[in-house]
Amino acid sequence: MKLRGLYAITDSQLLAGRFLPYVEAALEGGVTLLQYRDKSDNQAQRLREAETLRDLCERYKTRLIINDDAELAARLGVGVHLGQTDGPLTPARTLLGKDAIIGSTCHAQLELAEQASREGASYVAFGRFFNSLTKPGAPAADLALIEQAKARIKLPVAVIGGITLDNAAPLVEHGADLLAVIHGLFGADSAQEVTRRARAFNALFSSL
């Protein structure tokens, strides 16, 4: 599977009361990867929601990624995204197998991406590129970083941080493979608007 297109990331607070309708609306518009991101300690709820998302993703032929929890990912047979505080990727690769999608947060540092590549990452994620509501204090990245990463690392490049339909086009033009979006996708007034935004994000890739 080619990792290129919209990378939708859930936010339990943003999606409170409309979680499944909005996620399915995004899938209807086209999602390459869907990341389940829930920072709560409610293990039963996290398992239940992740199982539901796995089934939805199978229906829409989308790959599910679990944020920061390789054990849950292994239990469901899906991928995982790990941050820099989650330790090396090698144990996750061993746990999940050679075909699993494993992503790595690399902030704005090419060296972290090179390390992730050596440890078996499937893609590397850089950001924030714009002011982010999810991580407002994250270090900033610039467009040149995408081009440098594409030249030095033979992996798909995901970009994240304050991405909206108004600012996403230059990221794709500079080589981004995956647009990782939270508020710019799900911060909508209706499920129909979520679908429209998903289609519009994907159209940025087909126009190149």
- CATH code (residue 60): 3.20.20.70
- Which residues are CB-neighbours of 38 under 8 A, at least 6 positions away? 10, 12, 45, 46, 49, 67
Distances, alpha carbon 170 to alpha carbons 68, 91, 108, in Å = 29, 35, 17
62 and 34 in contact (C-beta within 8 Å)?
A: yes
pLDDT on residue 187: 98
State the number of CA atoms in the 13 A half-sphere of 206 facing the CB: 8
- Rounded CA-CA distance 114/98 in Å is 19
What's the structural domain count of the chain?
1
pLDDT on residue 88: 86
122 and 102 in contact (C-beta within 8 Å)?
A: yes
Residue that has been written with the tokens 């086009």 in this structure = 169
Is 125's pLDDT higher than 70? yes
pLDDT tens by residue, 53-110:
999 999 999 999 999 999 999 999 999 999 998 878 999 999 999 999 999 999 999 9
pLDDT tens by residue, 1-50:
699 999 999 999 999 999 999 999 999 999 999 999 998 889 999 999 99
- Rounded CA-CA distance 67/9 in Å is 9
51 and 78 in contact (C-beta within 8 Å)?
A: no
pLDDT band at 208 (very low <50, low <70, confident <90, very high): low
What is the reported pTM? 0.96
Domain boundaries, position 20? 5-206
Residue that has been written with the tokens 């440890």 in this structure = 119
Is 139's pLDDT higher than 90? no
pLDDT on residue 86: 83
More confident of the two residues 131 and 152: 152
